[in-house]
């Protein structure tokens, strides 16, 4: 089953990438009581993710926060060390990196992709959502290798 608008996010453990090292966070706690612009990429340092997806949310972070977003977070089926290195290279303090190293969050959402043809294995697909107090308010899932509806710009156009 794929998550839908109006659904509560599944409760799983994610790893927040920080300069001090990995920090376990429970999704039910992380999303509780705030509005989060959350987006998923197939992989840190991959071409579209590094050239367009993450930079778009970095560039539009002020606009999103101006629309009532409390937090902007990126998730990927990568380990927290890779997510932190990616943040240091291409991200900002305005975007929290949430590692889903085992893909449990992506699987629980029903938003996975098979990247085996590229040597990536099972990954989270490309999407974005607005989560308000743990409930999905807006969901934008890309088809295949597209990058159209999951961008920060598209999210802003819906707010």
- What is d(CA 10, CA 16) in angstroms, rounded to the nearest whole number? 17
Is 49 an annotated catalytic residue? yes
Place of tokens 């989060």: 36
Set 49, 73, 129, 139: catalytic member: 49
Q: DSSP state, 42?
A: S
Rg (the chain; Cα; Å): 14
Strands, DSSP E only, in 7-95?
A: 13-17, 23-26, 35-40, 71-76
Structure tokens at 40: 């998923």
- What is d(CA 118, CA 98) in angstroms, rounded to the nearest whole number? 23
Q: Which residues are catalytic?
A: 49
């Amino acid at each position: 089953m794929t998550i839908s608008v109006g659904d509560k996010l599944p409760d799983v453990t994610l790893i927040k990438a920080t300069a001090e090292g990995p920090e376990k966070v429970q999704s039910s706690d992380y999303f509780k009581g705030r509005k989060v612009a959350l987006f998923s990429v197939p992989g840190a340092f991959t071409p579209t993710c590094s050239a367009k997806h993450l930079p778009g949310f970095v560039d539009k972070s002020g606009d999103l926060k101006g629309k009532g977003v409390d937090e902007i977070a990126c998730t990927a089926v990568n380990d927290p060390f890779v997510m932190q290195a990616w943040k240091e290279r291409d991200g900002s303090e305005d975007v929290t990196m949430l590692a889903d190293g085992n893909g449990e969050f992506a699987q629980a959402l029903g938003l996975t992709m098979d990247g085996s043809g590229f040597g990536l294995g099972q990954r989270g697909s490309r999407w974005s959502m607005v989560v308000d107090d743990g409930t999905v308010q807006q969901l934008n899932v890309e088809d295949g290798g597209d990058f159209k509806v999951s961008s920060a710009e598209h999210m802003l156009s819906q707010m």
